[in-house]
Chain A
Amino acid sequence: GCFVFKPSSKKRRWSEKTAHDFRSASSDSEDTELRFVTCQSLWNQIKSETEQIQEDLNKQLLDNLMSFLSRSHSNFQEKTAEWTCRMKFREIPTAALVLGVNVTDHDLTFRGLSDVLQDNITPYVALLEAKDCSGIKNLMQKLMGQLMNCDIDVDSLEDEDCVQVSPNRIRCSMPSLISWYDSATKKTDSGTPSKKRNSSSRHWQSPPVVVIFKDIESFTTKVLQDFIVISSQHIHELPLVLIFGIATSPMIIHRLLPHSVSSLLCIELFQSLSCKEHLSTIIDKLLLTSQFPFKLGEKVLQVLINIFLYHDFSVKNFIKGFQLCIVEHFYSQPLSVLCCHLVDIKKRVYSLSHDQCENIRRLLSFRRYVEKQESGKQIELLTNDSALKGETEKLLEDLHVYHENYISILRCLHVFTSSLPKYPLGKQIRELHCACLENRVWETEEYESSLQLARMLNKTDLVTMLQQCVGILVSSSGKEFDKTVEKLKEFLTQFQKLEEASQERDVSVSSQKELQKKTDLYHLQKTLLELKESRKSKKLTKFEMLRFEVVDYIDSLVRKYLVPADDRTLHEIVYFNTAAVLRGHLNAAPRTALHTALNNPYWYLKNQALKCDGGGISNKAPDICIVYKLHLECGRLINLVDWLEAFSTVVMAAEEPVADAASSDQVDDIIHARFIRAVSELELLGFIKPSKQKTDHVARLTWGGC
């Protein structure tokens, strides 16, 4: 079943090849080279950025782990009382690492962890996965293989006489592991060359052996138990430290291990950052920044976030989706050559060809823009390429400025909305971002209600928020915010004054006091009504006036800066908006596609004969569609004879009744053959399977066959 094909010709280099693909794929050959290079460099930037972010996020966790490991290990060194005490109980120091359900992201964490460990604590780190450890023997083999390899890496230069035994041939047992460890540490002790120094300065005298179980849930109980019991017997000879990677909850340790075994572990719990926070940071650093010229449209972002929230919680997949967006954008949009950093824009705009200029003119947003200009300029923009280029450059710079402002104001607005009760505009900044991208946020109901709520904020909250906003705006790169900052500061001083004023005037007459005295129902009602009246017409206090002013000012900022990107001219160049493509590639629904093809072949085969409305199907449909449709009418088992008969009824009716008696037998056979083919295709697709329950019957495998 396998066939290898080898070419005779020489191979081309990879990068050339990829660029070639890019070129040959796009319809117009212009600028493709440049586009591809831009795409690649952008992606590489983003990739390194995300790696940096992830490293930073994991730093805290890793630091904690480090200190734990060095602690457990220093005890062994110094043979302190605590250690001996622990030795008495034969406890293995264990770190339980709760990593969350996004299993796919764990790899990255573990890789970082083992790198850090090998740099700082010990060269002896083994990473075990459940799929390699079906039995205790496999586990030991894997473990020793990894440990000894790393040892050989360290001092293979010095010890020529070191027997390079293949890990498969040594007997895999704890004693051999211990003897290996002894010899390894002895060697490091005696080894005096200068080269040794740096490594021994990094590692302690007798470094612990760290064994990481990547996915503790998938290990078989027995293997784990055996390993723990055996190694606890030898803990005084071999300073072992275990790290459990846990995806669910720490309870799983007790579920997996009986008390007698888990009492051999001295467990300390470490919690990694939740994946949602991880995502927020990523979005914050990748999307809500003007550092990268490429932007995601609202629908696309929504799709990516939905896949994250409803499918996998995997940040890795989110980034993969982001990568796909970049590739798709640069691949499908010829003008994406202009999606670059501000410094390059001028050069690139002026080197645009005539065709590309035409492409710009064809952009929807640009057409809208042109229509708004006066006629003289219109003509110039549409006919003169150099005028167009000048305008394009200006517009792109505008777009860049818009982004900078947008992000700062978005953050300010988020400061307000994130503290409102019930979060009408969402708790996370990404939700706010989506809302702002989608349409004019100030026209939405949610915005209206959040303004209402903001008008009811108390003073301290308001002041802290304003201070936060000032901080954001000051630190932002936008140049237009000097005035805004001034204005906000002015508000702050006004609040300050108000506070001083109120402290002086602290004598307020309590009208409520009057209610306290005895009164009859009638009077009470009257007073309450009066109170209500007075409240309605009551003049606003100074604070309330100021509060209104602040909220109105924020509102005006929002209206000015948070214009949805779709309204901006030339947004097509930097925004990727085809969510359907993205969803099709990342979150496909194969079953639905099959369903559509079988139920409504017209969707794919645009032939009028197939067209029909409602849930029906034309009798001229492909055989498999008819057979499928017929089988839907059956219960759990299907009689093949009935099925065949029904099929032939349909097919005969579809064909013109030639009524040639001689060939009828032939026709019959052909129909039979077609039926057989269709049925076996359904079987391949998994709708039916042969059944032994009754002769000449097949069983349905889909629901609805009750």
Chain B
Amino acid sequence: MSWSEGTRSGRRSLQVKFVSDEDVLRHIADDTGIKVRKDKAQLSVSVKRFVKKLENVSDNEAQEILEEKNYVAALGICAQDPMGSGSNISGGEVYSFQTPKRSNKMAELASELAQTPEKNVAPDHSKCLEKTAKTPQSIFSLLFQNKKKEFVSTTPYRLRKRLAASDPCLESESEYSASCSEEEDEEDQKEVNTVLSDQKTPAKTKAASTPPPRNSLSKKIKEQKMGNLVEEYFEAHSSSKVLTSDRTLQKLRKRRLNQQTLHGLLKNVPLVYAAEIRDLNQQHESLFSKWMLQLHLGFNIVLYGLGSKRDLLEKFRTSLLQDSVHLVVNGYFPSITVRSILNSITEEVLDHIGTFRSPLDQLEFITKRFKEDSSLELYVLIHNLDSQMLRGERSQQILAQLSSLPSIYLIASIDHINAPLMWDQAKLSLYNWLWYETTTFHPYVEETSYENSLLVQQSGSLALSSLMHVLHSLTLNARGIFRLLAQHQLEKKDNPSYPGLSFQDFYQQCREAFLVNSDLTLRAQLTEFRDHKLIRTKRGADGVEYLLIPVDDSTLTDFLEKEDDDV
């Protein structure tokens, strides 16, 4: 180090410094980039620096993983487990701090995955280098086409934004969107630049132009902020800026699927790797009698792992529990409560008629009965013990106490990644779990069917029928009023910041259509609508009352069509 300094200053003022090995190491590790730049300043190839840095990063990475391994080994979690379960990876891999920020990451990965239909993807350095070096355009061009299209589509929207009325909340949101689009713009611009420069200097940038997808920018960011991951986390979460594209499903012009069609479609999809999944399940099924044994010895069993465990438990039930009293609880059922579980025990198993003041009383009763009568025994199967309705502290406490009874045998399944957090030490010791990994890869058909899913048009048909029902009981004028509002709302459906129709405007329109004759009649009508939850009113910033139908646009369209048919 002192040597390089010496050469730079032309040997005029030679400085001798004692530098500790650590410092030297740190210097080399940290400042490689700078050093390289100094050495080859005239070349001004920052790209090279980037590559260097990248190698450092991966070295550090390796080091880090090594350290993690050591730590894990120290914890004794790393006891040899060559076959067994898939749980011999370090926690660092699972709970990682990877911080990809570019919005087109996903598309990138997708195209990469898609690009190699036959060969398997292996994003290690050398392979990727070659691959992407050969066809860099194909990836980016694909990407850019997508992006370009999108920008075109967003421009009028941004124009509209300026015209839009001033709903504070919506306003700010649209600002985010706009700004994010701009940022994206810049980013793409950058991308283009790099690509261009790559093409100009193909010899040098062969390596640089093709950063392996996972290791490029995100790694750099990671390296820079390695010191304070926690700070980084909060920093990243403090800003509410969202860097995603602004596309919506509606623009995709794809009809929303409802539950039935979804089921129909999925029925036609063949189950992939059926043979392997069957093998996997057979392995689990061979454990059934062991489960029974362990249940009888006072343990309770919890199943975890990817894939629906419903079929497995069902098979367990039909094969082993046929001649004993058992209770099946579908935890994923949206209206399940602990109370209903307790009720079915007291009413159906214990044949007790009468009510209880609180679940605790009920539990006490059950405990007493089971302690008194040693011949009573009950198997409880709970699908999804971690479901929305059962994951509460009190429910879990009651279930844990129930399961701690010696003649109640509980076998349950969990799916949520944070499910074990439900239980503290006290509950865990009550449950007395034995964990079994049962990865089945079965689709969660039943479990997700109740969920108000994101993409499924769930409430659509229901909302429409109830809308029709209510409207049919109203007078013709009232229907006309509602129709007017709906039409107006549909006209403005492309404007996401549409606040609703202001009362004054609405009154004007109603008057023009000879639907009402005074302010008061309209108000009375609106009150009736509001009581039936047909409309929602909210006050804008300027104190004006805005009216809105809280139904999505497609339902509204359907409704208007139906109305037209009627009329």
Interface string of B221-243 (1 = CB under 8 A from A): 00000000000110011001011
CB of B106 within 8 A of CB of A685, answer no
Interface string of B80-108 (1 = CB under 8 A from A): 11001111010101111111110101111
> Hey, which chain A residues are within 8 Å of B331, CB to CB?
1
Name the one of A604, A620, A672 contacting B439, with C-beta atoms under 8 angstroms: A604
CB A594 to nearest CB in B, in angstroms, measures: 5
**A132, B247: Cα distance in complex, Å:** 52
CB of A3 within 8 A of CB of B327, answer yes
List 9 A–B pairs whose Cβ atoms lie within 8 Å, in order of A's numbering: A2-B336, A584-B85, A586-B435, A593-B87, A614-B123, A634-B105, A634-B106, A649-B107, A684-B448
Interface string of B243-284 (1 = CB under 8 A from A): 111111111101001000110011011001100110110000
Does A522 sit within 8 A of B, measured CB to CB? Answer: no
- Total interface residues on A, CB under 8 Å, equals 128
Q: Which residue of chain A has its CB nearest to the CB of B176?
A: A694
CB of B233 within 8 A of CB of A706, answer yes
Does A367 sit within 8 A of B, measured CB to CB? Answer: no
Name the one of B122, B375, B456 contacting A614, with C-beta atoms under 8 angstroms: B122
Interface string of A483-520 (1 = CB under 8 A from B): 00000000000000000000000000000000000000
CB of B276 within 8 A of CB of A630, answer no
CB of A618 within 8 A of CB of B120, answer yes
CB of A303 within 8 A of CB of B122, answer no
> Hey, which chain B residues are within 8 Å of A607, CB to CB?
273, 276
- Total interface residues on B, CB under 8 Å, equals 141
CB of A639 within 8 A of CB of B121, answer no
**A647, B455: Cα distance in complex, Å:** 15
CB of A706 within 8 A of CB of B257, answer no
> Hey, which chain A residues are within 8 Å of B434, CB to CB?
324, 585-586
**A313, B106: Cα distance in complex, Å:** 45
* 5 more A-B residue pairs beyond the given contacts A584-B85, A584-B436, A619-B116, with a C-beta to C-beta distance below 8 A: A4-B325, A7-B323, A589-B87, A590-B420, A696-B248
**A94, B375: Cα distance in complex, Å:** 43
Interface string of A609-645 (1 = CB under 8 A from B): 0111111111110101010011111111111111111
> Hey, which chain A residues are within 8 Å of B249, CB to CB?
640-641, 696
> Hey, which chain B residues are within 8 Å of A24, CB to CB?
289
Does A677 sit within 8 A of B, measured CB to CB? Answer: yes
Does A198 sit within 8 A of B, measured CB to CB? Answer: no
CB of B451 within 8 A of CB of A588, answer no
| Segment with Cβ contacts to B, from A226-234, A465-473, A697-705 | A697-705
> Hey, which chain A residues are within 8 Å of B327, CB to CB?
2-5
> Hey, which chain B residues are within 8 Å of A2, CB to CB?
327-330, 336, 340-341, 343-344
> Hey, which chain B residues are within 8 Å of A537, CB to CB?
none
CB of A585 within 8 A of CB of B436, answer yes
CB of B290 within 8 A of CB of A331, answer yes
| Segment with Cβ contacts to A, from B293-301, B498-506, B507-515 | B293-301
| Segment with Cβ contacts to B, from A15-23, A256-264, A277-285, A525-533 | A15-23
CB of A687 within 8 A of CB of B417, answer yes
CB of B110 within 8 A of CB of A669, answer no
CB of A605 within 8 A of CB of B123, answer no
A-contacting residues, B124-159, CB 8 Å = 124, 146
CB of B265 within 8 A of CB of A303, answer no
Does B333 sit within 8 A of A, measured CB to CB? Answer: yes
Does B541 sit within 8 A of A, measured CB to CB? Answer: no
CB B80 to nearest CB in A, in angstroms, measures: 7
Interface string of A549-587 (1 = CB under 8 A from B): 000000000000000000000000000000111011111
CB of B248 within 8 A of CB of A673, answer no
**A645, B109: Cα distance in complex, Å:** 12
CB of B269 within 8 A of CB of A670, answer yes
B-contacting residues, A646-678, CB 8 Å = 646-647, 649-650, 652-654, 668-670, 672-677
CB of B107 within 8 A of CB of A642, answer yes
**A33, B382: Cα distance in complex, Å:** 32
> Hey, which chain B residues are within 8 Å of A586, CB to CB?
434-435
> Hey, which chain A residues are within 8 Å of B397, CB to CB?
131
> Hey, which chain B residues are within 8 Å of A601, CB to CB?
441
CB of A676 within 8 A of CB of B117, answer no
**A17, B451: Cα distance in complex, Å:** 40
> Hey, which chain A residues are within 8 Å of B311, CB to CB?
none
CB of B415 within 8 A of CB of A653, answer no
**A659, B317: Cα distance in complex, Å:** 46
> Hey, which chain A residues are within 8 Å of B97, CB to CB?
703-704, 706
CB B355 to nearest CB in A, in angstroms, measures: 13
CB of B86 within 8 A of CB of A597, answer yes
**A25, B295: Cα distance in complex, Å:** 13
CB of B114 within 8 A of CB of A641, answer no
CB of A598 within 8 A of CB of B122, answer no
Q: Which residue of chain B has its CB nearest to the CB of A606?
A: B276
With A6-B325, A590-B417 as given contacts, are A703 and B273 in contact (CB-CB < 8 Å)?
no
> Hey, which chain B residues are within 8 Å of A591, CB to CB?
94, 417, 420
> Hey, which chain B residues are within 8 Å of A320, CB to CB?
432
CB of B435 within 8 A of CB of A584, answer yes
CB of A302 within 8 A of CB of B93, answer no
> Hey, which chain A residues are within 8 Å of B99, CB to CB?
635, 704, 706
> Hey, which chain B residues are within 8 Å of A14, CB to CB?
296, 377
Name the one of A17, A638, A645 contacting B107, with C-beta atoms under 8 angstroms: A645
CB of A25 within 8 A of CB of B87, answer no
With A1-B329, A5-B321, A674-B269 as given contacts, are A316 and B429 in contact (CB-CB < 8 Å)?
yes
With A2-B329, A677-B448 as given contacts, are A639 and B76 in contact (CB-CB < 8 Å)?
no
Name the one of B115, B237, B321 contacting A653, with C-beta atoms under 8 angstroms: B115
Interface string of B488-524 (1 = CB under 8 A from A): 0000000010000000000000000000000000000
CB of B294 within 8 A of CB of A327, answer yes
Does A150 sit within 8 A of B, measured CB to CB? Answer: no
Most buried by B among A9, A21, A640: A21
